[in-house]
Amino acid sequence: MEMNRTSKPGPGLYIHIPFCLSRCWYCSFLSTPCASPPESYIRSLIKQAENIAGHPLIKDLQFGSMFIGGGTPTVYPGKTLAGLITSCRKLFTFDRGAEISVEANPNTLSGAKLDALLGAGVNRLSIGVQSFSDKFLRKLGRSHSRKEAFNALASARRAGFENISLDLMYGLPGQGTTDLVETIGDAVSLAPTHISLYELTIEQGSSFAQSHDKGQLILPGEDEVLTMARESCEILAEKGYRRYEISNYALPGRECIHNVNCWKNGSYLGLGVGAVSYISGLRIKNIEDQETFAQMVADGSHPFAEAECLPPEVRFRETVIMGLRMLEGVSLVDLENDFGINAERYYGSVLDKLIVDQLVLLSEGFLRLTPKGLELANYVMAELV
């Protein structure tokens, strides 16, 4: 298995927009359906950024990425999002050529909005297509159509966006391998630079979870889902998309910098309701209530709901688990240098068994999942957590 090494990016800035046009049936994220989201929330985000930019843990950071996610950030007008991005670029220090990503749904992208985003410095779009089949889009409760998905990518290209990622899902109710192969074919025909391919999981708090609990949701069997994953991986590889993480594929040099930083357990600052920060071993979560959030930042307070200083051993284990999501794996030398822990001795017989079972391997100083281990990643990580 040929590996390409990815360097550890600089810290990331994540901004959470908790609004969307409608709530998809599989979604359990912190989001509120709202066709006209309040401008006051954006002002609160900027105020939070102003409050924290001079903090001793933040002021000297040089960010390698900004990622605006949700929800659906592009329910806001382009001018509003551009103002948010511009404010953050003034308040924080970014690398030259930093990756600036915005998540979008196909039916929330107009030419004017795309122009505004590009003008504000956005250089990567992540478009939540999920499927190119109208039948399965309806089954997911998505608000866009197949035609709108194609049009969105064409519009983004016309506006000048070169780095475009598509989110797709598989293991959907009633879906077969042939259905997924058709969607993968449609996706690669559009030549995005990056494709995320996620298996549907039933999350508590979602509409699907309620249907599943009542026995009303018929999902593909495990063997069928495994076949879907294998065939998709083969097709994407043939088209030049390198699998670099369990669910992510990219053309050479187009890996998502923001997410690579997270998988390498790097630092990131989270702005917005429910957003999480992880800096210098300190994990902080913002409060989720929008009204309380707005009041606290207006008062000059940090809207933290909880904060925890993680001991080195916990950070070591999290670095292993996150790093194993990437196909290159995790460096044993880096682990020992960063935490003073030898991974082989620490895991001992547990690691030995995973190696014997051909789920992980040690090669060139890296611990990584085997192809078999990638298919059983949840089991492997449960053993190492």
Q: What is the DSSP string of 155-213?
A: HHHHHT---EEEEEEES-TT--HHHHHHHHHHHHHT--SEEEEEE----TTSHHHHHHH
Task: Tell me the C-alpha distance between 339 and 341, whole Å.
Answer: 5
**207: CB partners within 8 A, 6+ apart:** 23, 25, 26, 141
Closest to 127 in 3D by CA, of 84, 78, 72 = 72
Alpha-carbon distance values, 302 to 114, 264, 280 (Å): 32, 27, 18
**31: CB partners within 8 A, 6+ apart:** 18, 19, 20, 23, 70, 71, 72
Using 50, 70 and 90 to split pLDDT, how confident is the model at 346?
Answer: very high
Phi, psi dihedral angles at 245 (to 5 degrees): -150, 160
Residues 305 and 287: beta-carbon distance below 8 Å: yes
**149: CB partners within 8 A, 6+ apart:** 106, 127, 129, 132
The yes-or-no verdict on residue 257 having pLDDT over 50 is yes
| pLDDT of res. 65 | 99
| pLDDT of res. 6 | 67
Q: Where are the domains of the chain?
A: 12-263, 326-384
Q: Which of 15-24, 113-122, 156-165, 179-188 is predicted least confidently?
A: 15-24
| pLDDT of res. 214 | 84
* Residue with the larger pLDDT of the pair 216 and 65: 65
* Residue with the larger pLDDT of the pair 205 and 148: 148
Length of the chain: 385
Alpha helices in the chain (DSSP H): 39-53, 78-91, 111-119, 134-140, 146-159, 177-189, 207-213, 222-238, 257-263, 290-298, 312-324, 332-339, 343-356, 371-375, 377-384
> 326-384 has which CATH code?
1.10.10
Return the number of other C-beta atoms located less than 10 Å from residue 49's C-beta. 22
| pLDDT of res. 1 | 37
The yes-or-no verdict on residue 22 having pLDDT over 80 is yes
The yes-or-no verdict on residue 5 having pLDDT over 70 is no
Task: Tell me the C-alpha distance between 238 and 161, whole Å.
Answer: 24
Sign of CA dihedral 78, 27, 141, 325: positive
Closest to 115 in 3D by CA, of 75, 65, 77 = 77
The yes-or-no verdict on residue 4 having pLDDT over 60 is no
- Does 71 sit behind a cis peptide bond, omega within 30 degrees of 0 on the bond before it? yes
pLDDT digits (tens, 9 = 90+) for 149-163: 999 999 999 999 999
Average pLDDT value over all residues in the chain = 95
Using 50, 70 and 90 to split pLDDT, how confident is the model at 59?
Answer: very high
CATH superfamily for 12-263 is: Aldolase class I (3.20.20.70)
Q: What is the mean pLDDT of residues 92-120?
A: 97
Q: What is the mean pLDDT of residues 165-185?
A: 97
Task: Tell me the C-alpha distance between 77 and 92, whole Å.
Answer: 23
Could you tell me the two tokens for 20? 């969307």
